[in-house]
Each structure stands twice: as C-alpha cells, then as structure tokens.
Amino acid sequence: MAETTRFLVAGEWRSGSETFDVTAPYDDAVVARVGKPTERDIEDAIGAAHQAFEETRKLPVHVRAEALMHISARLKERAGEVAELIAREGGKPLKWSKVEAARAASTFRWAAEVLRRGDDELLRLDTEDSLGSRLGVVRRFARGPVLAITPFNFPVNLVAHKMAPALAAGNPIVIKPATKTPLGALMLGGLYTETGLPAGMLSVLPVGGSEAGEMAKDERFKVLSFTGSSEVGWGLREADPKKQVTLELGGNAGVIVHEDADLDMAAQRVAFGGYYQAGQSCIAVQRVLVHENVADPFRSKLVAEVEKLKTGDPMDPASDVGPVVDHDSLGRISEWVDEAVQAGAEVLTGGKREDPFYLPTILTRTTSDMKVCQQEIFGPVVTLGTYSDFEAAIEEVNNTPYGLQAGVFTKDIDRIMTAHRDIEVGGVIVNDVSSFRADQMPYGGTKDSGFGREGLRYALEEMTEPRILVLSHVPL
C-alpha cells in the first residue's frame, strides 16, 4: 500500500484514521493517498490557533518578514518540483503550472515587503481650537485566527494569497484546501515548519465541505477567507455575521474589443484568457463583444488562434489546454453548450467532449439569457457577440449577476475612463483580457463575485483592524 501523505496540525504531521485518494484529472491515476483529519484533529488545530494568537500577535516584524522570505526562497529553489505537483494533482498544463509556482514565490515576497514598509499613520488632531494639542497614532493589529478555504484551480498560489498575509499580520491560520488538490497546501505547510514560527500558527486540514462549514461557524476564528462558489461563499458569510469575511467567488468575465483595437493582439490574448486553465478560472474570458465594423476579421483571427492551441497531457510542455477537473464538470459544460446550440447558438470551433477534455469552444449567435452567458461555465467555452455602441457593450458586460474583472481593447482614453467608471467589476484591464492578475494588486469583485479584496496590502487590511492612540497635551 502506498505511503499516506500526512496533514499538519500545529507543527505535528498526522495521518488520521482514514485516507482518501487524490487522482489526476488526465488519467485518473492515483497521485497520492492523503490522511483524512478526524474531529479531534480539527479541534486540536483550532485550539492551537486560538492559543497561539497571544504569541503571534506580538511577533516582531523582522521575525514574520524573514519567515515569509524563507518560504519565498524555498519555492524558488523547488520551482520545478512545485510546478510538476500542480500539474499532476490539478491537471493544469506544465507551462502554466510553472507560472503559478513562480507567482507563489512572488506572493510570499510581496507579503514580506509590504510588512516591512508598514502602514502606521500619524494624525494631527490640533485642527480645531477645542481639540487642544493632540496627536493621533493609528496602528493596525491582527484580528485573530483565520480560517482559509481554497479551491482546486490554483492549489499553491491561492493558498499563498491567504497564508502569506495571515502570517504577515500575525494571525494564526488554519487552511482547508480543496480535497481534489490538497498537495500544494501540504507542501506549503512543510515549508512553514522550516521557519521557526510558532507551531500553532499554521495547520493544514484536507477535510470535506461539511466539516469546513462547521469550522466556519466556530467563534474562535475571527477571519474567514474563502475562494470558491458563490452559493457556498455567501452561505458561509451568513453563518457568522460577526466574523471579518473575504469572499472571492465566481465570474463570467466580459471582454470588449473596439474597432480601434489591435485585433491580432486581442485575438491572441482572448485565446489565452479563455482556455489557459481549460476555462477553470473565475477571471477566465467567457463573453467577448466585438465592434460590428471589425467583427468578421476578428472572428477569423480568434478561430485561428484557438485552433492553434494544443489540448493534451498536462505534463507535456507543449500542451496549452489540459483536462477538465472531473466528469461531472465535463457533463455540465457539454450540457450547457448543447442547450445553447439547440436554442440557436452556432459553434465556430470545438463544441465537443473528448474525455477528459472539452475541446476549446467558441459560440456565436448566443443570447444573454442562455446559461453560457448568464452563469459561470468554468470551462473552455467563449461566446462571441457584436455591438455598435460602446455604452451598449458596457451594459451587456454588466448584464450578469457577476462582477469580478473585465477586459477592454481600445486606444481611446475617453472610452477607457468610461469603462473604468461604468463597468461593474472589481477590475478593468485595458488592452488585455480579464484573466490578468498581478499578485500585489487589489483583487476581488462586486455583486455575486464576492466581498472584500485580496492582494497583499489589501488582504492585510482585511486581516487586521485599525486602532488609534491619542496623545493629549503634547507639544506640536
């Protein structure tokens, strides 16, 4: 029998009483057999985090920053190994897994840099005669233990985006990774144990959704950071309204291609943004609107770019598009596309299920009420429509329950500023697709796409609270 991959409880590696298999989406091969935490393991992790907070909240900046830099350096050293781990457990093509591994190292580095820079404020309070001679000192303090729940699609970097700011803030953190892809989080747990930070400051528990839901109700957690589906996320927020909650949820991102755009570049970037993760990213391109004056040439260019993509084994360095994560997701994607075609949509390329893949697909003649336009397909499917009026295109991008990110291709500064003002999303990406993310930028959405922001400085704000010290009767 294969050796069981253990999980981390406050510095102790445990095996649990049961195990579950992590299988590769490409060929269903068993990648690892992982120990399943028991109720006792969960209680020990939460209790340790609660107890450790008295120590972790007082840790000097240099101690926290050096630990973060150590993890960053180790991720760089092991970049090839980390990328292969991501590709094996999640099915992400190796070329994109390498990008994720590099980003994770950057995420921990950014957390250390933001921490060292600091964000304390001095406020002059002698602004009115009645206030006297006073000075305000505003500092941010750790809120307390964090519960982090992460999805399958970025098994290392999305864990890093919760783990790094929590450690930077001085908050203990319990990480619940997706059970489809727990190995990246467990690897990060191993790097944490090399740092010398308090053992109780980090636990990694690969438990199921029901256990995570119960953990989210525990009053000892002061912060909940969740990335996943909208339905689950909003339910967790309602379960304990006293918690500080950050939700990074779904999306069905729109991209506008205006008539003055560089059509070659736009087609290349849409072909990347719609399919690089087999569409399994909340900021993947899903809906493209192109100006009617350039619709025909853009359509031809986009189809050509998409048909260049190689779908195949994620361990093949030449593969651009990997498998869909599981058979249920394949079935749902196929069903939605077939339903759209039956309602009048036209397939320009793809439109076929070839397990474990869904071929990169472009649909046209769709209508805004179709599931492929209104809901998050989370698969390699892009819809292509046209518009004549830029403001109408913005309205169509907004015609969805989601609002995470959008892309706009144009050289016109007035249209750029109008898009920034009027598109109801957390981020507008100009002359690139919605799929762009720099790890230090504020990242999050509006409407059903979430609540709060990630991105190191912004995540630190979510995980800390300001407290003012007023110095009275001081010479100013």
* pLDDT per position as a tens digit, 112-135: 999 999 989 999 999 999 999 999
Asked if residue 318 and residue 281 are part of one domain, the reply reads yes
The verdict on residue 476 lying in a domain is no
Q: Rounded to whole angstroms, how far apart are CA atoms 198 and 399? A: 48
Asked if residue 91 and residue 18 are part of one domain, the reply reads yes
The verdict on residue 209 lying in a domain is yes
pLDDT, residue 119, reads 86
- Which of 37, 53, 14 lies closest to 221 in space, CA to CA? 53
> Taking 90 as the threshold, does the pLDDT of residue 241 lie above it?
no
Instruction: Give residue 314's pLDDT band: very low, low, confident or very high (50, 70, 90).
Output: very high
> Are 324 and 379 contacting, i.e. CB atoms less than 8 angstroms apart?
yes
| Domain hosting residue 461, numbered range | 4-249+450-468
The verdict on residue 475 lying in a domain is no
The verdict on residue 321 lying in a domain is yes
Q: CA 393 from chain center: how many Å?
A: 27
Q: Per-residue pLDDT tens for 338-354?
A: 999 999 999 999 999 99
Asked if residue 344 and residue 284 are part of one domain, the reply reads yes
Instruction: Give residue 240's pLDDT band: very low, low, confident or very high (50, 70, 90).
Output: confident
Asked if residue 260 and residue 227 are part of one domain, the reply reads no
- Which of 229, 201, 213, 144 lies closest to 176 in space, CA to CA? 213
In a 10 Å sphere around its CB, with 0-12 CB exposed, 13-18 middle and 19+ buried, how is residue 369 labelled? Answer: exposed
Tell me the two tokens of residue 112: 């250390």
pLDDT, residue 136, reads 98
Q: Per-residue pLDDT tens for 255-299?
A: 999 999 999 999 999 999 999 999 999 999 999 999 999 999 999
Q: Which CATH number fits the domain that encloses residue 290?
A: 3.40.309.10
Asked if residue 332 and residue 381 are part of one domain, the reply reads yes
The verdict on residue 413 lying in a domain is yes
pLDDT, residue 207, reads 97
Q: Per-residue pLDDT tens for 184-220?
A: 999 999 999 999 999 999 999 999 999 999 999 999 9
In the predicted model, what is the mean pLDDT of residues 151-172?
98
Q: Per-residue pLDDT tens for 404-455?
A: 999 999 999 999 999 999 999 999 999 999 999 999 999 999 999 999 999 9
> Taking 80 as the threshold, does the pLDDT of residue 2 lie above it?
no
Asked if residue 94 and residue 241 are part of one domain, the reply reads yes
Catalytic residue among 3, 12, 89, 282: 282
Q: Which residue has the higher pLDDT, 67 or 3?
A: 67
> Taking 50 as the threshold, does the pLDDT of residue 324 lie above it?
yes
- Which of 465, 440, 466, 445 lies closest to 160 in space, CA to CA? 440
pLDDT, residue 170, reads 98
Q: Per-residue pLDDT tens for 355-396?
A: 999 999 999 999 999 999 999 999 999 999 999 999 999 999
Asked if residue 193 and residue 331 are part of one domain, the reply reads no
> Are 250 and 173 contacting, i.e. CB atoms less than 8 angstroms apart?
no
Q: Which CATH number fits the domain that encloses residue 212?
A: 3.40.605.10
Asked if residue 262 and residue 208 are part of one domain, the reply reads no
Q: Rounded to whole angstroms, how far apart are CA atoms 386 and 384? A: 7
Q: Is 373 a catalytic residue?
A: no
Q: Per-residue pLDDT tens for 49-64?
A: 999 999 999 999 999 9
Q: Rounded to whole angstroms, how far apart are CA atoms 401 and 374? A: 7
The verdict on residue 234 lying in a domain is yes
The verdict on residue 445 lying in a domain is no
Asked if residue 397 and residue 350 are part of one domain, the reply reads yes
In the predicted model, what is the mean pLDDT of residues 54-77?
98
Asked if residue 404 and residue 286 are part of one domain, the reply reads yes
pLDDT, residue 1, reads 47
Catalytic residue among 121, 219, 238, 248: 248
The verdict on residue 221 lying in a domain is yes
Total number of domains in the chain? 2
Average confidence score pLDDT of the chain: 97
pTM of the model: 0.96
Asked if residue 330 and residue 196 are part of one domain, the reply reads no
Asked if residue 288 and residue 182 are part of one domain, the reply reads no
